[in-house]
Structure 1
Amino acid sequence: MPAPRRRVLAASSSFSPERVRTPVRRSAAGAGILIAALALSACFGGGGTEGGDFGDGDFADDGCTSVVVATSSEKVNMLDALAAAFKESPEHEALDECATVRPINVSSGDATRFLTSGQDWPDENPRRWPVMWSPASTVWTERVAAAASASLVGEPASFTHTPIVFGVPETMAKALGYPGSPIGIADFERLCQDPEGWGSVGKDLWGSFKISKTNPNTSTTGLSAILMQTYEASGKTDGLTADDVAAAADFSRVFEECVIHYGDTTGKVLTTLYDETQNGAGGSGYVSAVALEETSLLNYNQGNPDSHTVQPGEELTPPKEKLVAVYPAGGSMWSDNPITVLRADWVTDVQAEAGAAFAAFLQTEAAQEILPDFGFRPLDETVPLGELFTAEYGVDPAGPAISLPRPEVDVVSAAIDQWTQIRKPSSVLEVIDISGSMDEPIGDGRSKLDGAIEGAQATLGHFRSTDEVGVWAFTTGVESAAGENLVVLRDVTPLASDRESVDASLDDLRFANREGTPLYDAIAQAYDEMTKRAEPGRINAIVVLSDGQDTDSSISLDSLVAKIGKTTREGGDDAPVRIFPIAYGEGADTGALQRIAEATGGQWFDASDAAKIDLVFASVINNF
């Protein structure tokens, strides 16, 4: 077998926006690398699950230098494959001792927060502390350099890229003129502003125009989307300034009004859309357009909506209706996916040398040829894009027509600050299980109840003073104005300056009587309360935390699902109330909580590792 070609790309954090347009089929060699990567993933615990999953499991000691790479979820699969190929590369051969690259999933925003904190990596297992970091965009490395230390993030170099697009169900896209007519963010803004919604283009039955975007504080896609909005409002394709951000406030505010809810990753939104589509509901009832990376859209259309690591033998089922990529007429930003060796205290010289060798390998043609199999575009323009980058999978290999440059750090900061002020208002009721099982320890010196209280308290800083926040608790043997088995710690009212008093009320739960678990009754009563007060133009939501099975409700699960899903089924979407359950601990009824979330178009969150409840609460609250 001939040796692979070894042309090396320039190691630079900049990248060329031109695209390769010659599709080819995947090679047998690429398939072999993929199989090897999946085996590595199974051994080492890599996986493209949701953000913040960096503390799971441990790595087997194979006698080689361990090089942990903290990376955004959509790249875990690909980096597993690249890690396997690296073992056979000249770059690896040149090392004094063998090295094993081990990707772990940490969202770009979370990693930025951890690295700027000035503290150790927040994982009790030092073997999982990262030697390298590969966020989705250089925006994040620049923010760490500006907020903490430029030396900490080393010398980031892009090795692949993917454009930010809007994924639209194909039927809906055709109603907007796809694929013959260009579609821009301004077109979405007009649909948001028009009270007729889809009716303005002759599709009255589809209701209002609904957008899904992720939270720009934790997600590259969410951050890119608000910058693309600003570019659109300014009419510019480069040279964006902080003044442009300020001038775009009204335009962006209208755009935000279309958002169904925010999130920390697109994976949860895409999973909800996929499940509804497969169950015959289609996409129109849940969301009309999703801001996402092109690679996530490719994963969705293959039947992998959350971009998880596909295990050997796993079969993917494509959605009944694919998403098509709308490359906004005004231009798209790109996720340039840098990788860098961290200059943190915990990184040894041997690890740094091995990380530098892996980074150099990623620039070679042998590595670049692997990228298209995972839905990423290579920087090497001679590498064919392959069979995924076709209309069959909803993408245009020639798009986007216009590439928008990454603004300066001060402009990015101005956009995030503005979003905090103009984002869609929220009205959230937190409903917390305080049954007897919440006294169980979670392994870090806290009880389940301690973790729930502290997680809820940590969320309060997310809300603006004008956002509405309420807190209820439920168990048997208590009663309040809200009903039997409920304790009202705070009515759903504007938070204003009440954060300290809410903290104190949550602390009081430690002394409450804790008995049974009337979970379904508590949700039913909370739903009645929030439906009664729900308003259009606001995120109306219930966050419910439970660690066990329902034991004491008068309403059955089937009856509850019928009750809370009625508005969704009948198309009443002016002021929906969505439920976001947290399945807390190993005893939580994940099946029931998932059904409850799906019935309202909400999302459920897995906190089966109870010690991670703080991270899960942070993920939940990013939706608002």
Structure 2
Amino acid sequence: MPHPERNPFVFSDARFRKFIGSVAAIGAAALVLVGCSPSTDQGGTFADDGCTSVVVATSSEKVNLMEDLGAAFKDSAEHKGLEKCATVHAVNVASGKAAQYLSDSTTEWALGADTAPSVWSPASTVWTNRVASIAGDKVVAGAESFAKTPVVFGMPESMAKALGYPGKPISLKQIHDLIANPDGWGAAGKSMWGSFKIAKTNPNSSTTGMSMLLMQAYAASGKAQDLTVADVKAAEEFSRVFESGAIHYGDTTGKVLQNLADRTSGKGSSYVSAIALEETSLYNYNIGNPDSHTVQPGETLTPPDEKLVAVYPSEGSMWSDNPAVVLDAKWVTPEQKTASAAFVKFLHTKKAQELLPKYGFRPTDDSVDVSKYLNADVGVDPKQPAVTLPQPEPEVVSAAIDQWAAIRKPSAILQLIDISGSMDESIGDGRTRLDGAIEGSTATLGQIRPTDEIGVWAFTTGLSSNIDGTRVNGIGVVRPFGVLGGDKEGLQSDIEDLANSQRAGTPLYDSISSAYDYMKTHAEAGRINAIVVLSDGEDTDSATRLDTLIQKINADQKEGGNDKPVRIFAIAYSKAADVESLEKLARASGGQVFDATDPAKITETFQSVMNNF
């Protein structure tokens, strides 16, 4: 008989109702959310509790939900029917990445045997369909939705009201025209707000990014069903306009939402006007969890100064239908398969379905009342969307993703690579940190188009370069900044030459300051202008102070009408990296920080960074 284990961190209904009641009064004191059991984030091991381990690979916004569902599963009839108890563990893996891993191999899990999943719950059956088309139907046979959430545009409430919200429907065509209009928000009588900027995610790894591409094609075609490859091709110019309004791309909307929450004014106009996201991400933002991270016990959540409201395009929305499936993979044991099947069956029960609204998801069981949690107080209208757009055939999805590669917003990227003495530290397999950095940078060159601009600089004390007629200390120009053209092999060779470079001190702030000044001069409207800085340690040799550098970046970001901002994307490379300083610099610029404190994962981290461009 299974043991009646209980999760001490799971909400009681009364406690959660009290919490949501507090959220409804936006502007109240900071909120305390007692989260679910801590889960592994793409690595680590689980404690052996004597039960069968059911590992669920899922995206970040469902980690807490899966832990709560796992605790409820313990008390279910489905669990009682097992010969041995089972314990559910959630592993945070982006849907697109998990699809890639499963498409590449069902023999070995790319993130290690310790966290190899027996259940996969991506955001959409689009991903299970893609795996089935590559690795075979058997791998994901029986994938069935248990939760759903529509894809919407999240807008600061004041901005949505300027477009007629909530009384007037807002269309993708209307947003398209605002992006295309040189007057931007001026066309809506708000010229002081500048251009209409949107945030979108990379459709190669993000369900939201992929769904929004398809919604754009639907809108351009005037259809609400039966989207074809020809429709996608015909929508190219319509979609190109949407891409031209993107501030940058990324794996998830979480970082963009975190940046928006961090803006001191709480307003979005100078940073972003609308964010393509899932309704559940908007819900999380409004309750104070902008990046939809796994909430830990005792963590304090603070709602934003201004909530986002869900804009359900009048042409219709696609839905992320959140399937769960027992994987047919070599690493899944017969015992795990049995326990996992029982858990997946439980997800469709009334008891499980009633938990979903607490986490911003809509149940597939329409008899469950969601209004207690999903309502206007958190920017949601449970009666919307009025039009549901069906998922097109896999070849239509592929056509849209292929088209995006050609029409996405062009980039101007300056890579700034730390080559100080600490980069000689080993990361295993006979490689140094510098070897890993070189491999990470060169492995992602395939994402750079011939029309993109790129340059590579290295920094350490003792170097000196003539840049735009000025002698700049601490910098070595590895690759002069300019259009790549057809010289991808030459760029790879230039980066590989770093292996023979000298190593000395770490003038981090001076180097970022020089790179920022350079890119500000060379930035172009219509491109994603960015600095990608990799550093494995703290600043040791700069004349520039951190607060002075942040003040300079903040001043530029606050200038109205800036149509060519330079954003900093930082890689914290090793546990010795100055993560706090890198976060401050990235936040000031509207960029992001990426965690490579485990240097062995540097290539994967570089991939995440380059997904923004």
**TM-score > 0.5 by shorter chain:** yes
Superposed CA offset, 1:342-369 (max 9, x none): 1011111111111110010001101111
Q: Does 1:145 align with 2:132?
A: yes
Q: Does 1:27 align with 2:13?
A: yes
**SS of the residue 1:402 aligns to:** coil
**SS of the residue 1:285 aligns to:** coil
Distance apart, 1:558 and its partner CA:
1.5
Q: Does 1:458 align with 2:430?
A: no
Indicate conservation of the 8 Å contact 1:298/1:388, yes or no.
no
**SS of the residue 2:137 aligns to:** coil
Residue in structure 2 matching 1:619, options 586, 608, 612: 608
Residue 583 of structure 2 corresponds to which residue in structure 1?
A: 594
Superposed CA offset, 1:403-451 (max 9, x none): 0000000000000000000000001010000000111122454211111
Q: Does 1:195 align with 2:195?
A: no
Structure 1 residues 146 and 470: alpha-carbon distance in aligned structure 2, compared to 1, 3 A threshold: same
**SS of the residue 2:139 aligns to:** coil
- Cα distance in 2 between the residues matched to 1:88 and 1:30: 20
Structure 1 residues 313 and 526: alpha-carbon distance in aligned structure 2, compared to 1, 3 A threshold: same
Q: Does 1:245 align with 2:232?
A: yes
Residue 514 of structure 1 corresponds to which residue in structure 2?
A: 503
Residue 319 of structure 1 corresponds to which residue in structure 2?
A: 304
What one-letter code is carried by the residue in structure 1 that aligns with 2:13?
S
**SS of the residue 2:219 aligns to:** helix
Indicate conservation of the 8 Å contact 1:40/1:84, yes or no.
no
Residue 50 of structure 2 corresponds to which residue in structure 1?
A: 63
**SS of the residue 1:198 aligns to:** helix
Q: Does 1:605 align with 2:601?
A: no
Distance apart, 1:572 and its partner CA:
4.3
Alignment of 1:72-221 (within 5 A): 72-118=59-105, 120-123=107-110, 125-221=112-208
Residue in structure 1 matching 2:527, options 538, 541, 549: 538
What one-letter code is carried by the residue in structure 2 that aligns with 1:105?
N
Q: Does 1:329 align with 2:337?
A: no
Residue 267 of structure 2 corresponds to which residue in structure 1?
A: 282
Distance apart, 1:605 and its partner CA:
1.4
Structure 1 residues 232 and 39: alpha-carbon distance in aligned structure 2, compared to 1, 3 A threshold: closer
What one-letter code is carried by the residue in structure 2 that aligns with 1:354?
A
- Cα distance in 1 between the residues matched to 2:566 and 2:210: 26
Residue 11 of structure 1 corresponds to which residue in structure 2?
A: none
- Cα distance in 2 between the residues matched to 1:328 and 1:353: 42
Distance apart, 1:282 and its partner CA:
1.8
Distance apart, 1:565 and its partner CA:
2.5
Distance apart, 1:493 and its partner CA:
1.6
Superposed CA offset, 1:65-117 (max 9, x none): 11111111111111110000111111011111111111101001001111111
Structure 1: gaps of 5 or more residues: 1-24, 47-52
- Cα distance in 1 between the residues matched to 2:557 and 2:413: 19
- Cα distance in 2 between the residues matched to 1:160 and 1:282: 31
Indicate conservation of the 8 Å contact 1:68/1:129, yes or no.
yes
> How many residues in Structure 1 have an aligned counterpart in Structure 2?
586
- Cα distance in 2 between the residues matched to 1:196 and 1:386: 39
Structure 1 residues 394 and 29: alpha-carbon distance in aligned structure 2, compared to 1, 3 A threshold: closer
Distance apart, 1:242 and its partner CA:
0.2
- Cα distance in 1 between the residues matched to 2:370 and 2:600: 43
Distance apart, 1:229 and its partner CA:
0.4
- Cα distance in 2 between the residues matched to 1:101 and 1:614: 30
Residue in structure 2 matching 1:580, options 569, 576, 587: 569
Structure 1 residues 229 and 373: alpha-carbon distance in aligned structure 2, compared to 1, 3 A threshold: same
Residue 455 of structure 2 corresponds to which residue in structure 1?
A: 470
Indicate conservation of the 8 Å contact 1:136/1:338, yes or no.
yes
Structure 1 residues 450 and 119: alpha-carbon distance in aligned structure 2, compared to 1, 3 A threshold: farther
Indicate conservation of the 8 Å contact 1:472/1:486, yes or no.
yes
Distance apart, 1:40 and its partner CA:
5.7
Distance apart, 1:118 and its partner CA:
2.8
Superposed CA offset, 1:570-606 (max 9, x none): 2241111111111111111111111111121111112
RMSD: 1.8
**SS of the residue 2:151 aligns to:** strand
- Cα distance in 2 between the residues matched to 1:498 and 1:619: 23
What one-letter code is carried by the residue in structure 2 that aligns with 1:402?
V
Structure 1 residues 315 and 512: alpha-carbon distance in aligned structure 2, compared to 1, 3 A threshold: same
Structure 1 residues 573 and 105: alpha-carbon distance in aligned structure 2, compared to 1, 3 A threshold: same
Alignment of 1:385-534 (within 5 A): 385-482=370-467, 483-534=472-523
